[in-house]
Amino acid sequence: MGNTVRLTAAQALVRYLGAQMNEAGEPFIAGVWAIFGHGNVAGLGEALHGAKDSLPTYRGQNEQTMAHCAIAYAKQTRRMRAMAVTSSIGPGATNMVTAAALAHVNRLPVLIIPGDVFATRGPDPVLQQIESFGDGTVSANDCFRPVSRYYDRISRPEHLLTALPRAFRTMTDPADCGPVTLAFCQDVQAEAYDYPESFFEPRVWYQRRIRPDEAELARAVAAIRSAKRPVIVSGGGVHYSGATDVLQSFVESHNIPITETQAGKSALAWDHPLNLGPVGVTGGEPANATCAEADLVLAVGTRLQDFTTGSWGLFSNPNREMICLNTAAYDAEKHGAMPLQSDARVGLEELGEALHGYRADPVADTLKADWFGKVDALTDAPGDGNALPTDMQVVGAVQRASDNNTVVMCAAGTMPGELHKLWKAPRPGAYHMEYGFSCMGYEIAGAMGIKMAQPDRDVICFTGDGTYMMANSEMATAAMMGVSFTVVITDNRGFGCINRLQMGTGGAEFNNLLDHAVHETPSAIDFAAHAAAMGATSVKVGSIVELEQALAKRGEVTGPYVVVIDTDPYPSTEYGGTWWEVAVPEVSIHPEVNEKRAAYEVAIKERNTK
């Protein structure tokens, strides 16, 4: 038997985390976010303190937003690095369930380590313990089961010997990547065990690159060669695979245009002639018109959510084929697609070699010019007048203030749609959108995670007043840590995006904008003062010109820089887009709702007959 070392289970976990490397020679776990409480302070807290010089521990303000920061870090590093997040048992743990769901939807790695009940059950029920009357093995942490790609409860010290390798396999496997939850019983954290020293030897986790099955590749090649008007839907997997250069070479060799999902945007520079831009519900006319006529759709690294597919009404050519190139078999076979299970980079390389000599029919040269002729005017600064700026004009101001080093990010509300349509991303990694879970509250914490991942980048975060009110506390963390990024708060006095959807489905304006909610005292929140109270440098501006002047000063600021501007909640980019299925009431006393229901039924019928 080899040499052993006696450690507590918590000390063993921390030592193991520090020994896991990525293929670039960097620690895979870049740090640990922690809020300590009973359930993790005595065990993991002591262990993390002992490793603070090699494995940094960061203290946040809320468990959910700490995890959001960790997830954004992993996304911006293309899943090459990740972070861990630990909490106490009880509400500290359940606060992270939303973040785990976000990571699960977006296929992003994060290691969640909530404290758990006593394995011995001696003091049961402990403070904050959820008791299941029919199952003694259940705790609050079982909430993580459906939103984790791997879940384990550490109820004996030696469980780590199998649980930790499984956890890292999950986080580093492109086909299975996602959140891992290790519910760590609080008494077990403090128990000692003689661990094999070999368990803590440095290990490199390589990114597995699945090569296409020969038969699947042959079928895909034959289908593409017979296509006249193929199109590519580029998803987030293109970025995670590091396949952007290969994608560009592929489309240029075969004259196949690409369209971009929210996660895939910036795969090619916005002005590349074969980049038709955003696709789907928040897409533009060039991409959506091409997808509607395409006789073959090659979906690369995308899970094909409804915003991308127009609730599966977008790809309307009755003779079209769909090929899904994806590392995950689950995604590769959606909606009867022809599967090509493969890493995106390797799959595109082998497809390209097999398609030697093939070139698709050219796409109309006027598509992009016509589109930008319509939408560029929307982002111009307004003339003199008292009208509130639109979100499109705010996007334009930030665009003019940005450069090739800028990363623009957002997650929910109005801005994801406007940014998907209007933002001109100059290079890969310049656009960071969490739109798989569309989680309000990701923005500020996410911006901090991006900046921590790439300190040299100019990070600009868009957030609305509604989202800001949901989760702003990590602004204080960023200020204390000196993490510099810019936050543009567009104050439209409520949930403007959902208000428009409510109106668009025939409903009356109700309970979304603050003016339409039941309040005794009108809202008068000073967002600039609030951000300043948490340590940010902040300013309220009154026009697009003042916004641009304020943005020009962001390089002078250390820590978070907040610019607040009032905006009009009603306008949005009317061009582009496609149908999105939102159920409209079948019976209503309101004629507007009945009209929208009739249109909804027609759209359903059209979709189902395609």
> What's the pLDDT tens digit per position in 351-366?
999 999 999 999 888 9
Looking at residue 310, its pLDDT comes to 96
- Per-residue pLDDT tens over the stretch 491-535: 999 999 999 999 999 999 999 999 888 888 988 999 999 999 999
Provide the token pair at 555: 């390089």
Hey, do 4-205 and 214-364 end up sharing a CATH topology, with the first three levels equal? yes
Report the predicted TM-score, pTM, of the whole model to 2 decimal places: 0.97
Provide the token pair at 128: 């904050």
Q: What are phi and psi of 253, to 5 degrees?
A: -70, -35
Cα separation, 225 vs 174, in Å, equals: 28
Cα separation, 207 vs 231, in Å, equals: 28
- Per-residue pLDDT tens over the stretch 423-471: 999 999 999 999 999 999 999 999 999 999 999 999 999 999 999 999 9
Cα separation, 153 vs 533, in Å, equals: 40
C-alpha closest to that of 541 among 426, 379, 394: 394
Question: Residue 373 CB: number of other CB atoms within 10 A?
Answer: 10
Q: Higher model confidence: residue 385 or residue 505?
A: 505
Say if residue 125 is preceded by a cis peptide, omega within 30 of 0: yes
Question: From 3.40.50.300, 2.40.280.10, 3.40.50.1220, 3.20.20.70, which CATH number describes the 214-364 domain?
Answer: 3.40.50.1220
Q: Is 80 exceeded by the pLDDT of residue 383?
A: no
Cα separation, 101 vs 481, in Å, equals: 27
Domain ranges of the chain: 4-205, 214-364, 370-566
Contact between 70 and 477 under an 8 Å Cβ cutoff? The reply is no
Hey, what CATH topology would domain 370-566 get?
Answer: Rossmann fold (3.40.50)
Instruction: Read off the pLDDT band of 384 (50, 70, 90).
Output: low
Question: Residue 600 CB: number of other CB atoms within 10 A?
Answer: 19
Provide the token pair at 385: 């007048």
- Per-residue pLDDT tens over the stretch 558-581: 999 999 999 999 999 999 999 999
The superfamily CATH assigns to domain 4-205 is Thiamin diphosphate (ThDP)-binding fold, Pyr/PP domains (3.40.50.970)
Q: Is 90 exceeded by the pLDDT of residue 324?
A: yes
- Per-residue pLDDT tens over the stretch 466-480: 999 999 999 999 999
Q: What are phi and psi of 473, to 5 degrees?
A: -70, -25
Q: Is 90 exceeded by the pLDDT of residue 315?
A: yes
Instruction: Read off the pLDDT band of 385 (50, 70, 90).
Output: low
**Dihedral in degrees, nearest 10, Cα atoms 350, 353, 358, 362:** 60
Q: Quick one: which H or E segment has residue 464?
A: strand 458-464
- Average pLDDT of the chain to the nearest whole number: 96
Name residue 410's beta-bridge partners.
433
Looking at residue 1, its pLDDT comes to 56
Q: Burial, 130: exposed, middle or buried (Cβ in 10 Å; 0-12, 13-18, 19+)? A: middle
Q: Is 80 exceeded by the pLDDT of residue 553?
A: yes
How much of the chain exceeds pLDDT 90, in percent? 95
Q: Is 70 exceeded by the pLDDT of residue 237?
A: yes
